[in-house]
Amino acid sequence: MTLSLRPIGEAEWSAWNTVDEEAFGTATPEHRQEIFRRNIEFDRSLGVFDGDLLVGTAATYSFSMTVPGGPIPVGGVTAVGVLPSHRRRGILSSLMTRQLSDLHERGEAVAALYAAEAAIYGRYGYGRAADCMVFRIPTANAAFTRHAPADPALRLRVVRPAEARSTFEKIYESVFERRPGLYARTPARWDGVLTDQESDQGGAGPLRAVVAEDDGGPRGYALFRIKASFDDHDLPTGELRLKELFGLDPAAYALLWRHVLDRDLVSHVLAQSRPSDDPLIHLLAEPRHLHALWLDDLWVRVVDVDRALTARRYSAPVDVVIEVEDTVCPWNARRWRLTADTSGARCAPCDDPADLTLPVSVLGAAYLGGRPLAALLAAGVVRESRAGALRELSTAMSWDPAPWAGLVF
């Protein structure tokens, strides 16, 4: 077996996509393949070849992703797969190592991904940085607390999603810098959100939308589908499947949720990816009726410790020496002094005694501000040489709101 690894050309797209589908066991409809192709950056899409046969894939998107303090360049990792016939031959490791080296050379200090199998990516230094919630809410038990915000100037407008695209784009552009993990969307990315062919519908009918607005303009939107059904007694048992819901302010957010929960002939609402601190948790009078399921969202990899830790902002002062363990990116494997406060940060190599020793995946888990670190000390993942150092670092790296990307890439 003679293996080679290189970026693919456009003429190799079909073979590359076939390997990706085989690795994931999927069959992507043609229109979604075209959307995927338009999102792909060919110079950042790697293929491993066994002679002339393409056997492994990995790609990186050039994202502007929000981190604590604002957006930075982030490499969005996707389509990592190996043909089942070529597993356990080092192909995955070669792809992941090459990809991280490329990110390092391009000056992108952070990578992020959605993990099909979470156990894989910890081996390459990724940490679970963001969580999401799945809600299944019975509409009969969805009353709001009396403290729910309201604005009499707000009204709702039912819209056709394809015709309201510019409205959705404008609202999203206003919110994406507020929450770590959200990323700027390209036109092709929006095509993926709004595509509405039969294979996109999953038996739940066409994409529907409602906009919250006042005389000054739009203040939020919700995208959803409704799977209509009735039981043996002809009582409605419809399911509303929420795709997206963004509000520019609390009143718009509450009104949009109220609309989703009050749709006629719907017995429950399924929201499959919501932030772990979703305000809906505090709007419902009885939050147990969320029937919430907790899952992982983004996984983050610190590619360059110094650049990554200086690129974000901090919630409290910290001065700590961190010894980073990193076998995949050896340029990180040393001691670093992080000195930061709410106005900025400095991170530089040092020879001072370490206050903390940790694998680079811990920095990735904490990077977006949503992962307290005390449990990692209790689990033995982090070693503390100076009492209180981990609490200082955890407090400084924490951030509100919680991280969440909301849209798998």
Binding residues: 80-82, 88-93
Catalytic residue among 63, 135, 224, 409: 409
Contact between residue 128 and residue 117 where contact means Cβ atoms under 8 Å apart = no
Instruction: Mention every residue, 6+ apart, whose C-beta is less than 8 A from residue 149.
Output: 250, 251, 254
Q: Is 214 helix (H, G, I), strand (E, B) or coil?
A: strand
Whether residue 230 contacts residue 264, with contact meaning beta carbons closer than 8 Å, is answered with no
Under 8 Å CB-to-CB from 87, ≥6 apart: which residues? none
Nearest residue to 332 (alpha-carbon basis) of 124, 181, 121? 124
Question: Of 36, 121, 135, 367, which residue is the catalytic one?
Answer: 121
- Full strand arrangement of the beta sheet holding 127-128: 3-7, 45-50, 53-67, 70-82, 110-114, 298-302, 127-128
CA–CA gap between residue 269 and residue 224 (Å, rounded)? 10
CA–CA gap between residue 308 and residue 314 (Å, rounded): 12
What is the distance, to the nearest Å, from the Cα of residue 225 to the centroid of all Cα atoms in its chain? 22
**Structure token pair of residue 276:** 């772990």
> Interhelix angle for 13-24 vs 30-39, to 10°?
110
Q: List the binding residues for acetyl-CoA.
A: 80-82, 88-93
CA 53 – CA 1 distance, rounded (Å): 11
Among positive and negative, which fits the CA dihedral 89, 95, 98, 101?
A: negative
Is the distance from CB of 20 to CB of 81 less than 8 angstroms? Answer: yes
Whether the CB-CB separation of 267 and 239 falls below 8 Å is answered with: yes
CB 321 within 8 A of CB 335: yes
Answer yes or no: are the C-beta atoms of 373 and 291 closer than 8 Å. Answer: no
Would residue 79 be called left, alpha or beta, if left means φ above 0 and alpha means ψ between -120 and 50 degrees? left
Between the alpha carbon of residue 221 and those of residues 162, 273, 278, 350, the distances in Å are: 13, 16, 16, 49
* Known catalytic residue at 49: no
- Tell me if 73 sits within 8 A of 303, measured CB to CB: no
Q: Is 168 a catalytic residue?
A: no
Positions marked active-site:
121, 409
